[in-house]
Structure 1
Amino acid sequence: MPSTNSDVEKSAMAQTEYGPGSGDPVTYQRYPTRIANPGPAGLFSFAATTFMLSMFNVNTRGIQHPNVVIGMAIFAGGLVQFIAGMWEFPRGNVFGATAFASYGSFWMSYATINIPASGIMDAFSDEAELGNALGIFLITWMMITIFFLMAVVKRSVAFTLLLSALTIALGLLAGAEFSGMHVLQKAGGIWGIITGLIAFYIGIAELLAAESTAFMRFPVGNYDRPRAS
Protein backbone atom coordinates (compact mmCIF):
# COMPACT_ATOMS: atom_id res chain seq x y z
CA MET A 1 0.00 0.00 0.00
CA PRO A 2 1.61 3.32 -1.04
CA SER A 3 2.47 5.80 1.69
CA THR A 4 0.36 8.92 1.95
CA ASN A 5 1.69 12.40 2.54
CA SER A 6 0.45 12.11 6.11
CA ASP A 7 2.52 8.94 6.64
CA VAL A 8 5.63 10.66 5.32
CA GLU A 9 5.08 13.63 7.61
CA LYS A 10 4.59 11.39 10.65
CA SER A 11 7.74 9.43 9.80
CA ALA A 12 9.76 12.63 9.47
CA MET A 13 8.34 14.04 12.69
CA ALA A 14 9.25 10.83 14.50
CA GLN A 15 12.91 11.49 13.78
CA THR A 16 13.22 14.00 16.57
CA GLU A 17 16.02 13.98 19.12
CA TYR A 18 17.93 16.27 21.38
CA GLY A 19 21.10 17.79 19.98
CA PRO A 20 24.45 16.72 21.47
CA GLY A 21 24.62 17.98 25.02
CA SER A 22 22.70 21.16 24.30
CA GLY A 23 19.19 19.90 24.87
CA ASP A 24 18.25 21.59 21.63
CA PRO A 25 15.44 19.68 19.88
CA VAL A 26 16.49 18.56 16.41
CA THR A 27 13.70 17.69 14.01
CA TYR A 28 14.21 16.41 10.48
CA GLN A 29 10.81 17.38 9.11
CA ARG A 30 11.86 17.96 5.52
CA TYR A 31 15.23 16.28 5.16
CA PRO A 32 15.40 13.03 7.17
CA THR A 33 18.95 11.77 7.69
CA ARG A 34 20.56 8.64 9.06
CA ILE A 35 23.86 10.38 9.88
CA ALA A 36 25.15 9.12 13.22
CA ASN A 37 25.76 11.51 16.09
CA PRO A 38 29.17 13.16 15.43
CA GLY A 39 29.20 14.65 18.94
CA PRO A 40 31.49 12.06 20.59
CA ALA A 41 34.12 12.42 17.84
CA GLY A 42 34.12 16.19 18.14
CA LEU A 43 34.13 16.15 21.93
CA PHE A 44 36.93 13.60 22.26
CA SER A 45 39.05 15.55 19.77
CA PHE A 46 38.44 18.81 21.61
CA ALA A 47 39.05 17.18 25.00
CA ALA A 48 42.28 15.43 24.03
CA THR A 49 43.83 18.52 22.42
CA THR A 50 42.78 20.84 25.25
CA PHE A 51 43.97 18.41 27.92
CA MET A 52 47.35 17.90 26.25
CA LEU A 53 48.07 21.60 25.73
CA SER A 54 46.96 22.38 29.28
CA MET A 55 49.27 19.73 30.72
CA PHE A 56 52.11 21.45 28.87
CA ASN A 57 50.99 24.87 30.14
CA VAL A 58 51.40 23.72 33.74
CA ASN A 59 54.89 22.40 32.88
CA THR A 60 54.04 18.77 33.57
CA ARG A 61 57.25 16.70 33.90
CA GLY A 62 59.31 19.81 33.20
CA ILE A 63 57.94 20.43 29.70
CA GLN A 64 58.55 24.06 28.74
CA HIS A 65 57.56 24.07 25.06
CA PRO A 66 54.07 22.98 23.95
CA ASN A 67 54.97 22.50 20.27
CA VAL A 68 54.21 18.77 20.37
CA VAL A 69 50.52 19.69 20.47
CA ILE A 70 50.64 21.19 16.97
CA GLY A 71 49.88 17.86 15.28
CA MET A 72 46.92 17.30 17.59
CA ALA A 73 45.71 20.85 16.99
CA ILE A 74 45.73 20.36 13.21
CA PHE A 75 44.21 16.89 12.90
CA ALA A 76 42.28 16.12 16.10
CA GLY A 77 41.20 19.43 17.62
CA GLY A 78 41.09 21.02 14.17
CA LEU A 79 40.15 18.69 11.32
CA VAL A 80 38.04 16.12 13.19
CA GLN A 81 36.12 18.80 15.08
CA PHE A 82 35.50 20.80 11.92
CA ILE A 83 34.20 17.69 10.13
CA ALA A 84 31.98 16.92 13.12
CA GLY A 85 30.53 20.41 12.77
CA MET A 86 29.82 19.83 9.08
CA TRP A 87 28.01 16.59 9.93
CA GLU A 88 25.85 18.40 12.47
CA PHE A 89 24.38 20.69 9.80
CA PRO A 90 22.33 18.00 7.97
CA ARG A 91 21.21 16.72 11.38
CA GLY A 92 19.66 20.12 12.01
CA ASN A 93 21.70 20.88 15.14
CA VAL A 94 22.66 24.54 14.87
CA PHE A 95 24.52 24.68 18.18
CA GLY A 96 26.60 21.54 17.55
CA ALA A 97 27.43 22.58 14.00
CA THR A 98 28.46 26.10 14.98
CA ALA A 99 30.44 25.08 18.07
CA PHE A 100 32.37 22.18 16.53
CA ALA A 101 33.15 24.08 13.32
CA SER A 102 34.24 27.16 15.29
CA TYR A 103 36.52 25.37 17.74
CA GLY A 104 37.90 23.26 14.90
CA SER A 105 38.93 26.48 13.16
CA PHE A 106 40.33 27.78 16.45
CA TRP A 107 42.69 24.82 16.80
CA MET A 108 43.79 24.93 13.17
CA SER A 109 44.53 28.66 13.45
CA TYR A 110 46.40 28.10 16.74
CA ALA A 111 48.51 25.41 15.08
CA THR A 112 49.25 27.66 12.10
CA ILE A 113 50.46 30.44 14.40
CA ASN A 114 52.88 28.02 16.08
CA ILE A 115 54.24 26.36 12.93
CA PRO A 116 57.68 27.97 12.29
CA ALA A 117 57.25 27.73 8.51
CA SER A 118 54.18 29.97 8.69
CA GLY A 119 56.43 32.89 9.66
CA ILE A 120 53.75 34.34 11.95
CA MET A 121 55.87 34.26 15.11
CA ASP A 122 58.93 35.59 13.28
CA ALA A 123 56.96 38.61 12.08
CA PHE A 124 57.06 40.00 15.64
CA SER A 125 60.46 41.36 16.64
CA ASP A 126 59.04 42.77 19.88
CA GLU A 127 58.09 40.09 22.42
CA ALA A 128 55.60 42.42 24.11
CA GLU A 129 53.84 43.04 20.80
CA LEU A 130 53.61 39.29 20.20
CA GLY A 131 52.12 38.81 23.67
CA ASN A 132 49.53 41.49 23.02
CA ALA A 133 48.62 39.95 19.67
CA LEU A 134 48.20 36.48 21.20
CA GLY A 135 46.23 38.02 24.06
CA ILE A 136 43.77 39.59 21.61
CA PHE A 137 43.50 36.23 19.81
CA LEU A 138 42.60 34.46 23.07
CA ILE A 139 40.27 37.20 24.31
CA THR A 140 38.34 37.00 21.03
CA TRP A 141 37.81 33.27 21.51
CA MET A 142 36.81 33.86 25.12
CA MET A 143 34.08 36.18 23.84
CA ILE A 144 32.91 33.54 21.35
CA THR A 145 32.82 30.98 24.15
CA ILE A 146 30.63 33.29 26.24
CA PHE A 147 28.22 33.53 23.29
CA PHE A 148 28.04 29.72 23.18
CA LEU A 149 27.54 29.65 26.94
CA MET A 150 24.52 31.93 26.60
CA ALA A 151 22.94 29.35 24.28
CA VAL A 152 23.23 26.40 26.70
CA VAL A 153 23.02 27.84 30.21
CA LYS A 154 19.34 26.88 30.49
CA ARG A 155 19.62 23.68 28.49
CA SER A 156 22.48 21.53 29.75
CA VAL A 157 24.35 21.41 33.06
CA ALA A 158 27.34 19.60 31.54
CA PHE A 159 27.79 22.02 28.65
CA THR A 160 27.31 24.98 30.97
CA LEU A 161 30.17 23.69 33.15
CA LEU A 162 32.30 22.94 30.08
CA LEU A 163 31.95 26.37 28.50
CA SER A 164 32.28 28.16 31.85
CA ALA A 165 35.58 26.39 32.54
CA LEU A 166 36.79 27.13 29.00
CA THR A 167 35.89 30.81 29.38
CA ILE A 168 37.96 31.04 32.56
CA ALA A 169 40.87 29.17 30.97
CA LEU A 170 40.96 31.44 27.91
CA GLY A 171 40.68 34.56 30.06
CA LEU A 172 43.60 33.50 32.25
CA LEU A 173 45.75 32.55 29.25
CA ALA A 174 44.97 35.90 27.61
CA GLY A 175 45.96 37.64 30.83
CA ALA A 176 49.21 35.69 30.83
CA GLU A 177 50.00 36.89 27.31
CA PHE A 178 49.16 40.51 28.11
CA SER A 179 51.09 40.63 31.39
CA GLY A 180 53.79 38.02 30.90
CA MET A 181 52.87 36.51 34.30
CA HIS A 182 53.74 32.82 34.30
CA VAL A 183 51.40 32.17 37.24
CA LEU A 184 48.42 33.13 35.04
CA GLN A 185 49.56 30.68 32.38
CA LYS A 186 49.69 27.91 34.98
CA ALA A 187 46.25 28.88 36.29
CA GLY A 188 44.93 28.83 32.73
CA GLY A 189 46.49 25.42 32.26
CA ILE A 190 44.74 24.10 35.37
CA TRP A 191 41.37 25.34 34.13
CA GLY A 192 42.19 23.92 30.72
CA ILE A 193 42.75 20.49 32.29
CA ILE A 194 39.37 20.80 34.01
CA THR A 195 37.82 21.77 30.67
CA GLY A 196 39.35 18.75 28.95
CA LEU A 197 38.13 16.35 31.64
CA ILE A 198 34.58 17.72 31.44
CA ALA A 199 34.65 17.36 27.64
CA PHE A 200 35.87 13.76 28.00
CA TYR A 201 32.95 13.07 30.34
CA ILE A 202 30.37 14.51 27.94
CA GLY A 203 31.95 12.63 25.04
CA ILE A 204 31.72 9.33 26.94
CA ALA A 205 28.11 10.11 27.89
CA GLU A 206 27.22 10.80 24.24
CA LEU A 207 29.01 7.64 23.07
CA LEU A 208 27.30 5.38 25.61
CA ALA A 209 23.92 6.96 24.88
CA ALA A 210 24.32 5.99 21.22
CA GLU A 211 25.01 2.33 22.05
CA SER A 212 21.96 0.22 22.89
CA THR A 213 24.21 -2.45 24.45
CA ALA A 214 26.11 -0.07 26.73
CA PHE A 215 26.11 -1.37 30.32
CA MET A 216 25.85 2.09 31.87
CA ARG A 217 24.81 5.66 31.18
CA PHE A 218 26.31 8.96 32.33
CA PRO A 219 23.94 11.86 33.07
CA VAL A 220 24.69 15.20 31.42
CA GLY A 221 21.92 17.20 33.05
CA ASN A 222 19.83 18.19 30.05
CA TYR A 223 16.84 20.23 31.17
CA ASP A 224 13.46 18.98 29.98
CA ARG A 225 12.28 20.89 26.95
CA PRO A 226 9.05 20.36 25.03
CA ARG A 227 9.50 18.25 21.92
CA ALA A 228 7.78 18.94 18.63
CA SER A 229 4.48 17.10 18.27
Structure 2
Amino acid sequence: MNTIKLGNPAVVGLAGFGLTTLLLQFHNLGLCGLGPVVAMGFVFGGLAQLIAGFMEQKTGNNFGFAAFCSYGAFWIGLGVIWMLNYFELYASSKTDVGMYLIAWTFLTVIFWMGSLFIHTAMAFTFSTLVLGFILLDFAHFGFPELTTFAGYVLIACALGAWYMMAAIIINDVAGRTLLKVGKPWMKAS
Protein backbone atom coordinates (compact mmCIF):
# COMPACT_ATOMS: atom_id res chain seq x y z
CA MET A 1 0.00 0.00 0.00
CA ASN A 2 1.35 3.43 -0.98
CA THR A 3 1.35 5.86 1.95
CA ILE A 4 3.21 8.70 0.26
CA LYS A 5 1.10 11.84 0.12
CA LEU A 6 1.31 13.54 -3.25
CA GLY A 7 0.66 17.20 -3.92
CA ASN A 8 -2.52 18.26 -5.67
CA PRO A 9 -1.58 19.45 -9.18
CA ALA A 10 -4.67 21.67 -9.29
CA VAL A 11 -2.95 24.26 -7.10
CA VAL A 12 -0.38 24.97 -9.81
CA GLY A 13 -2.95 24.86 -12.61
CA LEU A 14 -5.32 27.21 -10.80
CA ALA A 15 -2.47 29.54 -9.84
CA GLY A 16 -1.22 29.74 -13.45
CA PHE A 17 -4.69 30.19 -14.90
CA GLY A 18 -5.62 32.86 -12.35
CA LEU A 19 -2.39 34.85 -12.58
CA THR A 20 -2.24 34.90 -16.38
CA THR A 21 -5.94 35.74 -16.68
CA LEU A 22 -5.49 38.55 -14.15
CA LEU A 23 -2.50 40.00 -16.01
CA LEU A 24 -4.35 39.94 -19.34
CA GLN A 25 -7.23 41.83 -17.79
CA PHE A 26 -4.82 44.42 -16.37
CA HIS A 27 -3.60 44.81 -19.96
CA ASN A 28 -7.16 44.98 -21.34
CA LEU A 29 -7.95 47.72 -18.81
CA GLY A 30 -4.82 49.67 -19.85
CA LEU A 31 -2.95 49.10 -16.58
CA CYS A 32 0.06 47.25 -18.04
CA GLY A 33 1.67 46.39 -21.34
CA LEU A 34 1.50 43.07 -23.13
CA GLY A 35 5.03 41.89 -22.21
CA PRO A 36 4.19 40.39 -18.78
CA VAL A 37 1.10 38.71 -20.26
CA VAL A 38 3.10 37.08 -23.06
CA ALA A 39 5.78 35.88 -20.62
CA MET A 40 3.26 34.37 -18.22
CA GLY A 41 1.18 33.07 -21.14
CA PHE A 42 4.09 30.87 -22.16
CA VAL A 43 5.42 29.95 -18.73
CA PHE A 44 2.77 29.94 -15.99
CA GLY A 45 -0.53 30.03 -17.86
CA GLY A 46 0.84 27.76 -20.57
CA LEU A 47 3.60 25.37 -19.55
CA ALA A 48 2.72 25.12 -15.83
CA GLN A 49 -0.94 24.45 -16.63
CA LEU A 50 0.00 21.77 -19.15
CA ILE A 51 2.17 20.07 -16.54
CA ALA A 52 -0.64 20.32 -13.97
CA GLY A 53 -3.03 18.83 -16.51
CA PHE A 54 -0.75 15.88 -17.21
CA MET A 55 -0.42 15.31 -13.47
CA GLU A 56 -4.23 15.47 -13.07
CA GLN A 57 -4.47 12.69 -15.65
CA LYS A 58 -2.37 10.49 -13.38
CA THR A 59 -4.84 11.08 -10.53
CA GLY A 60 -7.76 10.01 -12.75
CA ASN A 61 -9.31 13.50 -12.80
CA ASN A 62 -10.61 13.86 -16.38
CA PHE A 63 -12.02 17.35 -15.76
CA GLY A 64 -8.73 18.71 -14.38
CA PHE A 65 -6.74 16.88 -17.05
CA ALA A 66 -8.80 18.30 -19.90
CA ALA A 67 -9.25 21.80 -18.46
CA PHE A 68 -5.63 22.45 -17.46
CA CYS A 69 -4.19 20.99 -20.66
CA SER A 70 -6.72 22.92 -22.76
CA TYR A 71 -6.21 26.30 -21.11
CA GLY A 72 -2.46 25.75 -21.00
CA ALA A 73 -2.65 25.30 -24.77
CA PHE A 74 -4.92 28.36 -24.99
CA TRP A 75 -2.29 30.57 -23.37
CA ILE A 76 0.56 29.17 -25.46
CA GLY A 77 -1.53 29.56 -28.62
CA LEU A 78 -2.43 33.16 -27.76
CA GLY A 79 1.23 33.86 -27.02
CA VAL A 80 2.18 32.44 -30.42
CA ILE A 81 -0.41 34.67 -32.11
CA TRP A 82 1.03 37.73 -30.34
CA MET A 83 4.61 36.76 -31.23
CA LEU A 84 3.73 36.12 -34.88
CA ASN A 85 2.09 39.54 -35.00
CA TYR A 86 5.03 41.22 -33.26
CA PHE A 87 7.61 39.72 -35.61
CA GLU A 88 5.31 40.27 -38.61
CA LEU A 89 5.51 36.60 -39.62
CA TYR A 90 1.75 36.25 -39.83
CA ALA A 91 -0.59 39.08 -38.95
CA SER A 92 -3.75 37.95 -37.20
CA SER A 93 -6.56 40.43 -37.67
CA LYS A 94 -9.08 41.36 -35.00
CA THR A 95 -11.47 38.98 -36.78
CA ASP A 96 -8.87 36.17 -36.68
CA VAL A 97 -8.45 36.61 -32.93
CA GLY A 98 -12.21 36.90 -32.57
CA MET A 99 -12.69 33.53 -34.28
CA TYR A 100 -10.02 32.04 -31.99
CA LEU A 101 -11.99 33.34 -29.00
CA ILE A 102 -15.31 32.04 -30.35
CA ALA A 103 -13.85 28.54 -30.71
CA TRP A 104 -12.60 28.75 -27.12
CA THR A 105 -16.02 29.99 -26.01
CA PHE A 106 -17.62 26.83 -27.38
CA LEU A 107 -15.08 24.62 -25.61
CA THR A 108 -15.50 26.61 -22.39
CA VAL A 109 -19.27 26.03 -22.46
CA ILE A 110 -18.56 22.28 -22.29
CA PHE A 111 -16.29 22.78 -19.28
CA TRP A 112 -18.88 25.11 -17.74
CA MET A 113 -21.52 22.37 -17.98
CA GLY A 114 -19.17 19.95 -16.23
CA SER A 115 -18.29 22.52 -13.56
CA LEU A 116 -21.93 22.68 -12.46
CA PHE A 117 -21.55 19.16 -11.05
CA ILE A 118 -18.35 19.90 -9.08
CA HIS A 119 -18.87 22.73 -6.57
CA THR A 120 -19.88 26.39 -6.32
CA ALA A 121 -16.36 27.80 -6.63
CA MET A 122 -15.75 25.83 -9.84
CA ALA A 123 -19.17 26.74 -11.27
CA PHE A 124 -18.58 30.43 -10.44
CA THR A 125 -15.15 30.40 -12.08
CA PHE A 126 -16.42 28.77 -15.27
CA SER A 127 -19.59 30.90 -15.37
CA THR A 128 -17.50 34.07 -15.29
CA LEU A 129 -15.10 32.56 -17.84
CA VAL A 130 -17.94 31.82 -20.27
CA LEU A 131 -19.39 35.31 -19.78
CA GLY A 132 -15.94 36.87 -20.22
CA PHE A 133 -15.34 34.95 -23.46
CA ILE A 134 -18.77 35.95 -24.81
CA LEU A 135 -18.07 39.60 -24.03
CA LEU A 136 -14.66 39.40 -25.72
CA ASP A 137 -16.28 37.70 -28.73
CA PHE A 138 -18.64 40.65 -29.13
CA ALA A 139 -15.78 43.08 -28.47
CA HIS A 140 -13.88 41.62 -31.43
CA PHE A 141 -16.91 41.86 -33.70
CA GLY A 142 -18.09 45.44 -33.46
CA PHE A 143 -18.52 46.22 -29.75
CA PRO A 144 -15.00 47.12 -28.50
CA GLU A 145 -16.41 48.90 -25.44
CA LEU A 146 -17.27 45.46 -24.03
CA THR A 147 -13.55 44.75 -23.52
CA THR A 148 -13.59 46.80 -20.31
CA PHE A 149 -16.63 44.98 -18.93
CA ALA A 150 -15.05 41.65 -19.94
CA GLY A 151 -11.92 42.70 -18.07
CA TYR A 152 -13.81 43.10 -14.81
CA VAL A 153 -15.75 39.84 -15.30
CA LEU A 154 -12.52 37.97 -16.01
CA ILE A 155 -10.82 39.50 -12.96
CA ALA A 156 -13.63 37.87 -10.95
CA CYS A 157 -12.89 34.63 -12.84
CA ALA A 158 -9.18 34.82 -12.00
CA LEU A 159 -9.97 35.47 -8.34
CA GLY A 160 -12.37 32.50 -8.36
CA ALA A 161 -9.52 30.28 -9.59
CA TRP A 162 -7.24 31.65 -6.90
CA TYR A 163 -9.91 31.08 -4.25
CA MET A 164 -10.04 27.40 -5.21
CA MET A 165 -6.23 27.25 -5.11
CA ALA A 166 -6.23 28.92 -1.68
CA ALA A 167 -8.91 26.53 -0.41
CA ILE A 168 -6.86 23.50 -1.44
CA ILE A 169 -3.63 24.84 0.11
CA ILE A 170 -5.03 26.40 3.29
CA ASN A 171 -7.43 23.56 4.06
CA ASP A 172 -4.61 21.04 3.56
CA VAL A 173 -2.09 22.77 5.83
CA ALA A 174 -4.75 23.57 8.44
CA GLY A 175 -5.95 19.97 8.45
CA ARG A 176 -9.55 21.16 8.32
CA THR A 177 -11.89 23.10 6.07
CA LEU A 178 -11.37 26.82 6.59
CA LEU A 179 -12.28 27.91 3.05
CA LYS A 180 -15.42 26.26 1.73
CA VAL A 181 -15.98 25.70 -1.98
CA GLY A 182 -19.74 25.11 -1.78
CA LYS A 183 -22.04 22.47 -3.12
CA PRO A 184 -22.53 21.50 -6.76
CA TRP A 185 -25.10 23.59 -8.62
CA MET A 186 -26.44 20.39 -10.22
CA LYS A 187 -26.55 16.83 -9.01
CA ALA A 188 -25.98 13.78 -11.16
CA SER A 189 -28.96 11.44 -10.91
Instruction: Give the total of aligned pairs.
Output: 185
Alignment of 1:66-215 (within 5 A): 66-115=34-83, 116-117=86-87, 119-121=89-91, 130-179=93-142, 181-212=143-174
Deviations 1:38-89 (A, max 9, x none): 01111011000000110111122xx4x4243100000000000000000011
Deviations 1:124-146 (A, max 9, x none): 5xxxxx11111110011111111
Deviation at 1:210, TM superposition (A): 2.6
CA distance, structure 1, for counterparts of residue 8 and residue 183 of structure 2: 17
**Match status 1:36 vs 2:4:** no
Deviation at 1:34, TM superposition (A): 5.0
5+ long unaligned stretches in structure 1: 1-10, 16-32, 125-129
CA distance, structure 2, for counterparts of residue 69 and residue 155 of structure 1: 29
**Structure with the higher helix share, 1 or 2:** 2
CA-based RMSD of the aligned residues comes to 2.4
| Higher gyration radius (CA) | 1
Deviation at 1:90, TM superposition (A): 1.1
- Inter-CA distance 45–118: structure 2 relative to 1 (3 Å threshold): farther
SS in 2 for 1:37: coil
Deviations 1:69-119 (A, max 9, x none): 100000000000000000011111111111000000000000010012372
The normalised TM-score by structure 2 is 0.88
Deviation at 1:201, TM superposition (A): 0.7
Contact 1:35 1:91 in 2 (8 A): no
Contact 1:134 1:177 in 2 (8 A): yes
